[in-house]
Chains A and B, each alone.
Chain A
Amino acid sequence: MITWWRQPWIRRLMTSLAVVAVVELMTGPSGSFAAPTTGLIGSYNERVSVYGLFVGRRWMVFLVLALAFFGVWSAWLRGGPRMRAALRASTASPRDVASRRPVRWGFYVVLLVVAGFLPHLVNDPYWQSVLVEQIAVFVLLALGLNVVVGFAGLLDLGFVAFYAIGAYTTAWVTGALPTPAPFDVHLNPFWAIPVAIVFVMVAGILLGTPTLRLRGDYLAIVTLGFGEIITIFANNLYGITGGSYGSGGTTGSHPIPHFSIALGPIHYRWTLAPVPYYYLTLVFVVLFIIGFSLLEHSRIGRAWTAIREDEVAAESVGINPLKYKVMAFAIGAASAGFAGVVTASQSNFIFPATFTLQLSINVLVLVIFGGMGSIPGVVAGAVVIQTVSMYLIHTPPAGFQESDLYMYIGALLIVTMIFRPAGLIPSRRRRREIVLSEAGESHADEVLTGDVA
């Protein structure tokens, strides 16, 4: 006879109460010193808001949620295996369905056409600017980080640094920083694109060469530091970067100009309107996707995979790990640099506060959620997560606060990892790696049968 409190169902009940209590406290309004438990009983603001409808009965809500959680958990344990099988079947990889090439190409063309019409389909100023600032830019960032994390297997927590360098380089060469532009020529942002890309790639090489000798956790910490250093530089070097006021914060500087074309008879000027920027970014997104997927299937991509899987073995067949890792850093940085150009030019002003650790982590979440090492995956991941985030911020459901956003995104990520550990659209190689590490190599036979053409 087990002691009553050791019974599994009691433990489940207690855990459910604890989990829901934590969630309640975290999603509730900030407490005050006088009433640190306002999270549970509700604040004045809540009583007068829509959400306040719940407040009087918030304890009841809490209990109902806890019991519901407990109920789902118990049901899961009872009907588990069958439900799990059903879930796995229903979330099976789309790749299995569309693995024949012509079908996939057709699929991509359709996607591109949809992407082309998207701004007119949404036809709403908020969503049109979200498309550029929050989706297209983050797709670019995710594509770049995917080269580093997904292809080469290097955990980079300071990816924002390259984004910032791209943006600040743009501001510099267009004459928007307190530092005079090189040669006193103010370039059109189009010319800033190659300059910024070269700058971030050099930054990638400079950062990579000393630090990529480190492995795993150590590398993550060093890159984290690098990201912070760049932000702090932007903040502190007032005379060069404009400090926390950002570009245009000092006398004599002017806004970062929009893109413009003057090619013979073709004259076009981008403006604050998001849609033209969307098309410009879309073109580059497609170019980066093509470039990166060619790389993935080239000998460079294979060398990255080899290093990721077994660095010692890779070195023994003649691959120089450091060289390829630095290359991954520099190449991945390129798309972040371009994202920086777009952000700088589109918003006219840049501020150090944009380039936070939060942003680095956000991009990493997109990559993990979408599927590390899978280009369609990280694009889908960026689109899905950024859309969900922006939807929640734009039309918050009852009880949603913007400060809680990352908690919900975190929960979404955890759930995704339980059911699709290799991400939304996993890369074939990554999925095999995960399957192999879960099953142990002895079972690889059964697990992998039929997976390869």
Chain B
Amino acid sequence: MSDLIFDVRNVTLRFGGVVSLNDVSLHQGRGEILAVIGPNGAGKTSLFNSLTGLYRPQEGVITFQGRDGVPLSIIGKKAHRVSAAGVARTFQASRMFSALTTFENVKIGAESHRGIGVLGAMVRGPRTRRGEHESDQRTLDLLAFVGLQEKANVVSASLSYGDRRRLEIARGLATNPQVLLLDEPAAGTNPAEKIQLTELIRRVRDERGVSILLIEHDMKLVMALAERLYVLNFGSVIAEGTPDEIRANPAVIEAYLGSAEQTEDRA
């Protein structure tokens, strides 16, 4: 199984007496669009935070395999190290640098992994300028990719919810990741934006070769995008399978979707 990008084994995360993730195991193949669903409080965002180095689970192993093929153990690594290894993410409530422009937001992602030279930054020699130029090109390219080139110089706080999601995706892609973790990308977007977003996420995988790990409540979007799903409930994985298998899984319907009729409505 050398083509796994994420291999999560028996991860348990506790906050005092509260068990947020309980013996969670899951894996993601390279190039896969994987979704994690589950009711509120099931531990989805905790899982994301553990995968990106923001939380430190007490037990278990998380292995990430970057482009160089060297496995990296995530637990205990700082978030910026995880980002440098090739894991990018978006946040449930968009976390942009609100007072900066769209362009600046993405550029920060594009240049964050370059070395820092104080003197270089002050003197602006040829190397610095070349670096700046590359970052600018990369930023423009990504803004065009997500369709925000018209809004490059707009202060990001004034973007609509849908545009904020695209901005976060562009900023994540700017760090040149292997996998992009999307935490409820469709929250707060309107139906038209949802369709565009679905298309954009698929293009991220197809055109950029970036694997996608997705948390989402919008079943329509999940079922349309995900190739495989995990269902979390009370911090444990209760089911795993293709969208069709999950739809038919009685445990999932019981825990998450409530009843069969509702499934039909939401799907």
Contacts and interface: CB of A to CB of B under 8 A. Distances in A.
- Whether chain B is bound by chain A comes out as yes
Interface of A: 291, 294-295, 298-300, 302-303, 305-306, 309-310, 312-321, 323-324, 327, 331, 429-430, 432-433, 436, 441, 444-445, 448-449, 451-453
B96 interface: yes
The 4 closest A-B pairs by CB, nearest first: A298-B121, A318-B83, A318-B112, A432-B99
B118 A313 contact: no
Contacts of B98: 309, 432-433, 436, 441, 444
B49 to A, nearest CB: 9
A436 B98 CA distance: 8
B155 to A, nearest CB: 5
A319 B108 contact: yes
Contacts of B99: 305, 309, 429-430, 432-433, 436
Contacts of B153: 452-453
A294 B124 contact: yes
A302 B104 contact: yes
B157 A302 contact: no
B97 A313 contact: yes
13 contacts: A298-B121, A299-B107, A299-B111, A299-B116, A302-B111, A309-B97, A316-B91, A320-B78, A429-B99, A429-B100, A432-B157, A441-B98, A441-B157
Of the four ranges (under 10, 10 to 19, 20 to 34, 35 or more), the interface on chain B belongs to 35 or more
A299 B121 contact: yes
Given A305-B104, A444-B158, 18 more contacts: A294-B122, A305-B100, A310-B96, A310-B97, A316-B79, A317-B108, A318-B80, A318-B175, A429-B100, A432-B157, A433-B98, A436-B98, A441-B157, A444-B98, A444-B157, A445-B158, A451-B155, A452-B154
Nearest to B94: A313
Which of B104, B114, B116 has most chain A Cβ within 10 Å? B116
Contacts of A314: 97, 108
B42 interface: no
Nearest to A451: B155
B109 interface: yes
Contacts of A444: 98, 155, 157-158
A131 B80 CA distance: 45
Which of A303, A319, A448 has most chain B Cβ within 10 Å? A319
B89 interface: yes
B57 interface: no
B67 interface: no
B243 interface: no
B13 to A, nearest CB: 17
Contacts of B104: 302, 305
Contact of B122 (A295, A310, A441): A295
Contacts of A432: 98-99, 155, 157
A448 B158 CA distance: 7
Which of A315, A331, A451 has most chain B Cβ within 10 Å? A315
